[in-house]
A and B are shown apart, each in its own frame.
Chain A
Amino acid sequence: MREALKVPTMAEYMSLGKQPEVLFWVGCAGSFDDRAKKITKAFVRLLNKANIDFAVLGTEESCTGDPAKRAGNEFLFQMQAVTNIEVLNAYEVKKIVTTCPHCFNTLKNEYPSLGGNYEVVHHTQFLKSLLEEGRLTIEGGKFKGKRITFHDPCYLGRANNVYEAPRELIQKLEAELIEMKSCKQDGLCCGAGGAQMFKDAEKGDKEINVERTEQALDIKPDIIAAGCPFCNTMMTDGVKIKEKEDTVKVMDIAELIANAQDL
């Protein structure tokens, strides 16, 4: 039987008169989407294992406004942003970690000019720093020799120039990191960004996630690693469409690391 997850809220911390080291911004996908919830839990298990003083906002968290802004609804975005900033500032939040590159980008880049100034890191960056500080160790064994490719989320890679943190983590697993034809700054989008996740694609001759999945399957990976819950969904669907779900898994970096330690 697994140990129950320890997931304190900011409200609980406040009632004890304490501040956590970091706020874990779970995001809408991480809170509600069945696939993404597994990523959330894997990340929390790692945080618990490393004894990180963290908290979530829980029911006080709300959409960052990313999809609204990218759909063109600047009003709704700023309403969400200003409301979230009020909550975050009331708790005197200094540092935020998030498993979603869209939340990461919005909190990090688009909140400051509206009064929300925080140190924001993506969970792959956070896990990397835990390793470097010796607060978390990775056991490679389980993935030794596995061929893993990393699909760069647009909002982590091109949008914020974070390419190395997730790759370093994969290499720590003693896995074989393989790169797709287009990767890093040339990485192809999964098709979900810019609010596309919430609508059907325009008429074309192919779905974007199928194109990207084909690029991944071309290099014969055992695992397609992702760092974004939306990319994860798109790539998982792509692998299903190509009928490869028995041989190729789509996993978040947090899941890989948690899995390696049997968490």
Chain B
Amino acid sequence: MDYIPNILFAITLVIGIGYFVKNIRKLIRNIKLGQDVDVSDKKSQRWRNMALIALGQSKMVRRPVAGILHIVVYVGFIIINIEVLEIIIDGLFGTHRIFSGIGNLYGILIGSFEILAALVLASVILFWIRRMILRIPRFWNEEMTKWPKNDALNILYFEMVLMSLFLIMNATDVIFQEMNSGNIISQFVAPWFENFSDSTIHLIERGAWWLHIIGILIFLNYLYFSKHLHILLAFPNTFYANLKPKGELNNLEAVTKEVLLMMDPNADPFAATDEGDHEEVPAKFGASDVQDLNWVQLLNVYTCTECGRCTSQCPANLTGKKLSPRKIMMDTRDRLEEVGKNIDSNNGEFKDDGKQLLDDYITREELWACTSCNACVEACPVSINPLSIILDMRRYLVMEQSAAPTELNNMMTNIENNGAPWPYNQMDRLNWKNE
């Protein structure tokens, strides 16, 4: 009968990790719904970007207050998780604080975990105050109601509870308190439990221990359903991010082929295409749904943690237009999830649901409000590129639907006819010289 807790623990662990792995596989499957794109170049630069931007948080600190609080939570989160290793071993083998045998070092380790836990708790409370009391505008845009708002709060509450449980667990661990090494913070929590009987204290300690590890497993599984995946995906996302100048928009190769064919005086327009050429002809230009985007763009949407730095820098959004780069990412993710569920419930095949990303999620009004200024791309702390999705959707509107605003059609007609966006004759291009 002594083994029951160990078995229960093992089952909990297997379920917790198993369900997480299942969802991560789904996530990878969904990302792979995107078009292929070659990002295999410049490996060393990519590793460096990942080290600087994701690991080193270099872009987070551009806003110092949020940046430093975030680093505290991030460092705390990673380091305190070393403790999880001990919890897992203890849980599986029925030991108690297996690492405490290492002597003084154990006290130092747990002591620093406790300090970090207290700092994380304080930072998360400050985050909550920024969001709910100071009401920093970027947390209160239109797209941040209902689920996105609750999601953000859930995560903050989760972290508060986990950190508190960790400290309570240590404070009520009589043996650990008697060691009096490493209980830097919990020694001040311990007196709260002074009047409890030994057995109650032990019960609280066990309760906190179990809730802590179960909480961690729940949090792990919550990630997939929340905006919080960035703690994992920031790493691949910064690795695969664009390395070219921000102003460089990709040239569509499929278009190049057609343009060169049109320009080639020797081309035979009636020539039969070579065998095997067929699969190279794309179904359409630009993007009207998530499958038309490339997989890096889809990785981007799962990485977005809805911080809103992009939207707070967007000139269109700042002047009251509907466009919000954050909403572009959130909408694309929502649609991708919808497509993923559709595939799950239709035996692995997508069944047309009469919906698409364009119009059903992202409106034309939003797309046409973009000035392509790259402020959103610059602002993102994890190198997400909302502009590339906006551009691909404009491409669909213009090249597949000829649905540009009239004034832009006029501009394009002018370029076609006289090589300038205005109706001036190309032969007059040098007139300024004599004016």
Please give the residue numbers on chain A whose beta carbons come within 8 Å of chain B beta carbons, in ascending order.
5, 7, 9, 26, 28, 30-33, 37, 40-41, 56, 58-59, 61-63, 65, 67-76, 78-83, 105, 108-110, 113-114, 154-155, 158-161, 185-186, 188-189, 191-208, 210-212
Q: In the complex the two chains form, what is the Cα distance from A49 to B393 in whole Å?
A: 47
Asked if B78 lies at the interface with its beta carbon under 8 angstroms from chain A, I say no
From known contacts A113-B251, A189-B371, A205-B319, infer whether A59 and B433 are also in contact, taking CB-CB under 8 Å: no
- CB pair A206–B320 under 8 Å, yes or no, is yes
Q: Is the CB of B247 within 8 A of A208?
A: no
Report yes or no: B371 in contact with A208, Cβ–Cβ below 8 A.
yes
CB pair B408–A198 under 8 Å, yes or no, is yes
Which residues of chain B have C-beta atoms less than 8 A from A78's C-beta? Answer: 251-252, 255-256, 259
Q: How far is the CA of A59 from the CA of B419 in the complex (A)?
A: 10
What are 18 inter-chain pairs, A to B, with CB distance below 8 A? Answer: A28-B420, A32-B428, A56-B430, A59-B430, A61-B419, A71-B394, A73-B398, A73-B412, A74-B395, A78-B259, A79-B263, A82-B263, A83-B263, A105-B247, A108-B245, A199-B408, A204-B316, A205-B319
Point out the residue from B251, B256, B430 that lies within 8 Å of A9, measured CB to CB: B430
Q: 19 extra interchain contacts, Cβ-Cβ under 8 A, other than A31-B420, A31-B432, A186-B379?
A: A26-B432, A67-B415, A68-B415, A70-B391, A72-B394, A72-B396, A74-B285, A78-B256, A79-B263, A108-B245, A109-B244, A110-B248, A113-B251, A159-B248, A189-B315, A189-B371, A202-B321, A207-B319, A208-B316
- A74-B255, A105-B247 as given contacts; A62 in contact with B319, CB under 8 Å: no
Closest CB in chain A relative to B265 CB, distance in Å: 12
Report how far A72 CA is from B416 CA in the complex, Å. Answer: 15
Q: How far is the CB of B401 from chain A (nearest CB, A)?
A: 10
Bound Cα distance from A79 to B415, whole angstroms: 10
Q: Beta-carbon contacts of B410-435 to A below 8 Å, as 1s and 0s? A: 11100110011110101111111101
B430 touches A28 (CB 8 A): no
Q: Distance in Å from the Cβ of A238 to the closest Cβ of chain B?
A: 12
- Report the separation of the CA atoms of residues A73 and B394 in the bound assembly, to the nearest whole angstrom: 8
Judge whether B371 and A193 touch: CB under 8 Å: yes
Docked complex Cα distance between A147 and B358 (Å):
47
Residues of A within 8 A of B285 (CB): 74
The listed residue with most A CB atoms (<10 A of its CB), out of B285, B286, B316, B433, is B433
Q: Which residues of chain A come closer than 8 Å to B422, judged between CB atoms?
A: 28, 32-33
Q: Which residues of A contact B424 (CB under 8 A)?
A: 31-32
Task: Give chain A nearest CB distance to B389 CB in angstroms.
Answer: 12
Complexed CA–CA distance, A61 and B433 (Å): 14
Cα A161 to Cα B244 with chains together (Å): 11
CB of B384, distance to nearest CB on chain A (Å):
15
Closest to B256 in A: A78
On chain B, the residues within 8 Å of A201 by CB distance are: 319, 321, 369
Q: How far is the CA of A211 from the CA of B321 in the complex (A)?
A: 13
Chain B nearest CB from A98 CB (Å) reads: 13
Select which of A28, A59, A108, A185 is within 8 A of B421 by beta carbon. Answer: A28
Q: Tell yes or no: B235 within 8 A of A by CB.
A: no
B23 at the interface (CB under 8 A from A): no
* List of B residues within 8 angstroms of A207 by Cβ: 319
What's the minimum C-beta distance from A195 to chain B, rounded to whole angstroms? 6
Complex interface residues of chain B between 320 and 354 (CB less than 8 A to chain A): 320-323
Query: Which B residue's beta carbon lies closest to that of A80?
Result: B415
Q: Closest 4 CB pairs between A and B?
A: A159-B247, A194-B372, A72-B394, A62-B419
Contact B247 A76 (CB under 8 A): no
Tell me which residues across on chain B come within 8 A of A205, comparing CB atoms.
319-320
> Which chain B residue has the least Cβ–Cβ distance from A200?
B407
The answer to whether A114 and B370 touch (CB under 8 A), given A72-B404, A199-B405, A203-B321, is: no
- A71 nearest in chain B by CB position: B408
Please name all residues of chain A whose beta carbon is closer than 8 Å to the beta carbon of B411 when the two chains form the complex: 67-68, 71, 195, 198-199
Kindly provide the distance from the CB of A120 to the nearest chain B CB, expressed in whole angstroms: 11
**A102 to B: closest C-beta gap in Å:** 9
Closest B residue, CB atoms, query A182: B313
- Pairwise interchain contact B412-A68, C-beta atoms closer than 8 A: yes
CA distance A216 to B285 in the complex (A): 40
B378 close to A41 (CB less than 8 A): no
Which residues on A sit within 8 Å (CB–CB) of B405? 199
- One digit per residue, 1 when the CB lies within 8 angstroms of any chain A CB and 0 when it does not, for chain B 298-313 equals 0000000000000001
Tell whether B232 is near chain A: CB-to-CB under 8 Å. no
Residues of B within 8 A of A212 (CB): 315
Residue in chain A with minimal CB distance to B430: A58
CB distance from B95 to the nearest CB of A (A): 53
Given A110-B249, A155-B247, A195–B415 Cβ distance below 8 Å?
no
From B322, B373, B394, A193 is in contact (CB under 8 Å) with B373
Q: How far is it, in angstroms, between the C-alpha of A69 and the C-alpha of B399 when the chains are bound?
A: 11
Provide the residues of chain B in CB contact with A211, threshold 8 Å: 315, 318-319
**A74–B245 CA distance with the chains assembled, in angstroms:** 19
Q: Which residues of B contact A83 (CB under 8 A)?
A: 263
- B404–A73 CB distance below 8 A: yes
- Chain B residues contacting A185 (CB-CB under 8 Å) are 378
Cβ 8 A contact of A194, one of B373, B399, B419: B373
Inside 8 A of A158's CB, which chain B residues have their CB?
Answer: 246-247, 373-375, 377-378
The reply to whether B259 and A71 contact each other, CB–CB distance below 8 Å, is no
- B260 at the binding interface (Cβ < 8 Å): yes
From B255, B374, B407, A154 is in contact (CB under 8 Å) with B374
Tell me how far the C-beta of B297 lies from the nearest C-beta in chain A, rounded to whole angstroms.
16
Are A75 and B316 in contact (CB-based, < 8 A)?
A: no
Q: Does B73 lie at the interface of the complex (its beta carbon under 8 Å from any beta carbon of A)?
A: no
Q: Is B368 in contact with chain A by the CB < 8 A criterion?
A: yes
Nearest chain A residue, comparing its CB with the CB of B319: A206
